[in-house]
Chain A
């Protein structure tokens, strides 16, 4: 019988965590490193010491299960009670759900894509510590996709537009904006993916891409989505610290990494910013009770926090603010209005509905955009309102031209002339390609061989790949059902909402 060994010093937390994670790794000797990790050199990134990665959070597997199971128990309790009590009747208005339609069609699939491709990093990054962090994030992102599906499942039972989110993400024109962004990141190498998603998406712009939906939920009585948002918060903060550690680690490893990463920051800022245009339109026009304007959010979360806070820190490594940031700032008074005009014009082919802003909403927009709204955009809405008062509704006839990079219809104006559509052209292999901005043109010309592959929805319709030549053919192929699309007033959702509230003392707010 052995004597009990004398107790030695207890392992310090950091060391214990290393033993439970990165120390599981070993140097293979029966197969080559290049065989095991074939994708970590072709992007030109140099890593000399993977041990230099300092874990941005320390979460052992048992603790992870415990926290997450507890959080989910609480979240699903909210979902169940909301469903049981017909909580959707207490929303600010059924038109609010247009934001959530956009969310499940456009954002939930991105969570799922992140789940799949963080698994790629968990397989192929050479360092065991970042591999483990990526594995955690992969599992988290699956959580987000699935809890969103369940959060929204109850709305799907009573309202249109939610029912075919997965197919729509693959097919519908405005959803090629987010889909192409993630396809772009996933088809890039592992380090570019890390910078694009962990840094640009999760850190730099998360407060403009993801959080506005959660805040909108909170202001508009959407308890399930708000609860999801709170429940995802601790996951997101892990993802944000991963993004920050990733960029600092790569910048510290080798000076030659700096220009490569600068290029990715320039590219991914613009890609993600362009996608956020859809969120801008949502924030300013789709929420019956708005949270804050796009412009205010952009100033607070991007100009103050990122340009004012993060980039001065990154300057130490030689990193400059994103190349086209000036254009983004210059158009902050215009972006949401121009995007919502597009959505309003083309919502006959969308799986959500749109409406001309009410006079009250119009006053709010005027107060948020004193330099542009009344001058440039209110007259447009006044015209719509007059036509609608006479029983009409204007939709744009025909199909728009799409930007070859961001895939948003070409309707943005020049930053110095709001009367002129911004239109850039580039030639590649004897063909002409059009982009919507300096940023998208620059992104195109950096990797034309990639962007010429884009599955552009309008081209695809013209080429006959989308169900047939007529609008009803295409809508059927999109999976859009009668009344999912078009004008909100008089839509099935609006009529149901009025019926459900007819016997109630407080009628639905007038839109």
Chain B
């Protein structure tokens, strides 16, 4: 049984904003759709930017990769601001609980030396890599054409600071609550031979003019580093008495799986675009050819150090 509550029914005159109705028909729309579709201004810009010649304030020409209609791409996660922060609040809450657990039991201090070394000289320095990736992603937040695309870049940029802060907090915990580990990790980032291919590559990607090329170049690096250092070391850590490493790394693995969702979908949209698909595919292939070998080189230098440290260690 349930009771029957009488309430006033008023027939709506329209179910959504007109631009959404024009695209999808007059039916109830999702909050993602209303918050995303056609939000970016399209025309009648008053003044030309003083900081770049030959471009409008919003302009598809900020990248060689184009979509005929940027709203053919939709974030498969359906993220607008609120679901984004809600999702990430949970991720960081869980990370915080993990870190709290590790700190309460002093588990990072009890890591085997080899694993402490991997953390301090390979993994923690990547907080700077994350910061560089943030700079690259935020260029998309400004220059990507279409709210559907740029808001993914915006969230990715903020994610990167989140990742950098997760790594930094592990570093602080590893340093017994001090900044010592972060200081030496920064020195490694600046001078350590094993990190220089990555730092050089990161800096060169940071100055790429085309925001989409920068984003994809960083993704070439991510696609190697994340599996290598987080998912890839998981089993080794569990078998090698470094369970705490696995506990912390799972959060970054989870993030990377989430990042893949929208970026893979965007690449598919670029490739399949009815008008620009062929040209996009050419650019995408060129971008991979340019940056993949560099990413390989940077990841190999880190992989060698990891293997060296861990193979010498007792299980």
Could you say which residues of chain B place their CB within 8 Å of the CB of A113?
41
Is the C-beta of A58 less than 8 angstroms from some C-beta in chain B? Answer: no
Q: Given A7-B176, A454-B46, A115 and B154 touching (CB < 8 A)? A: yes
Q: A66-B89, A170-B42 are in contact. Are A187 and B47 (CB under 8 A)?
A: yes
Interface residue A389 (Cβ < 8 Å from any Cβ of B): no
Interface flags, B12-31, vs A, CB<8A=1, else 0: 11111111010000000001
| Residue contact A66 to B92, C-beta cutoff 8 Å | yes
Cβ–Cβ contact B138 & A157, under 8 A:
no
B68 interface residue per 8 A CB criterion: no
Asked whether any CB of chain B lies closer than 8 Å to the CB of A437, the reply is no
User: Whose C-beta in chain A lies nearest to the C-beta of B140?
Assistant: A119
Chain A residues within 8 Å of B127, by CB? 24
- The reply on A109 being an interface residue by CB < 8 A is yes
Q: Does A188 contact B (CB under 8 A)?
A: yes
Cβ of A316 within 8 Å of any chain B Cβ, yes or no, is: no
Q: How far is the CA of A25 from the CA of B51 in the complex (A)?
A: 24
> Are B81 and A453 within 8 A (Cβ)?
no
**Residues of chain A at interface, number, CB under 8 A:** 102
The answer to whether A306 has its CB under 8 Å from any CB of chain B is no
| Per-residue interface assignment for chain A, residues 134 to 178, with 1 indicating a CB less than 8 Å from any chain B CB and 0 otherwise | 010011001101110110010011111011111101110000100
Which B residues touch A122, using CB under 8 A? 138, 141, 157
Q: Considering the chains assembled together, what is the distance between the CA atoms of A113 and B46 in angstroms?
A: 14
Residues of B contacting A158 with CB < 8 Å? 10, 12-13
Q: Which of B161-169, B217-225, B232-240 contacts A (4 or more CB under 8 A)?
A: B161-169
A89 vs B48: C-alpha distance in the bound complex, in angstroms? Answer: 45
Q: Which of B15, B138, B168 has the most CB of A within 10 A?
A: B138
Can you name the residue of chain A whose Cβ is closest to the Cβ of B28?
A157
When A and B form their complex, what is the total count of cross-chain residue pairs whose Cβ atoms lie within 8 Å?
267
Q: Determine if B50 and A2 form an interchain contact, defined as CB atoms under 8 angstroms apart.
A: no
Q: Which of A111-130 contact B (CB under 8 A)?
A: 112-113, 115-117, 119-120, 122-123, 128
What residues of A have a CB within 8 angstroms of the CB of B128 in the complex?
24-26
Residue of B nearest to A15 (CB): B179
Q: How far is the CA of A128 from the CA of B43 in the complex (A)?
A: 33
* Residues of A with C-beta under 8 A to B135: 123, 131
| Most chain B beta-carbon contacts within 10 A, residue among A8, A28, A119, A145 | A119
- A317 at the B interface (CB under 8 A): no
CB of A13 closer than 8 Å to a CB of B = no
List chain B residues, Cβ under 8 A from A179. Answer: 41, 44, 46
The one of A187, A460, A496 that contacts B50, using a Cβ cutoff of 8 Å: A187
| Contact assessment for A189 and B15 in the assembled complex, using a CB-CB cutoff below 8 Å | no
A86 at the interface (CB under 8 A from B): yes
Asked whether A167 lies within 8 Å of B19 as measured between CB atoms, the reply is yes
Chain B proximity mask over A426-462: 1 for CB below 8 Å, otherwise 0? 0000000000000000000000001101110000100
- A186 interfacial contact with B, CB 8 Å: yes
B86 interfacial contact with A, CB 8 Å? yes
Q: What 7 pairs between A and B have smallest CB-CB spacing?
A: A119-B141, A24-B131, A62-B92, A157-B12, A65-B89, A146-B35, A69-B89
A and B contact pairs by CB, cutoff 8 A, 30 listed: A2-B110, A2-B111, A4-B109, A6-B176, A7-B177, A19-B179, A24-B127, A25-B128, A29-B190, A62-B89, A62-B93, A64-B85, A65-B85, A73-B86, A119-B138, A119-B150, A131-B135, A135-B158, A138-B138, A142-B81, A145-B35, A153-B17, A153-B34, A160-B13, A164-B19, A166-B17, A167-B19, A176-B46, A189-B51, A500-B10
Known: A27-B190, A72-B86, A123-B135. 18 other contacts (CB 8 A): A2-B112, A10-B177, A11-B178, A20-B169, A23-B182, A30-B200, A61-B158, A62-B162, A72-B81, A128-B131, A142-B81, A166-B17, A170-B43, A186-B49, A186-B57, A187-B49, A453-B47, A496-B13
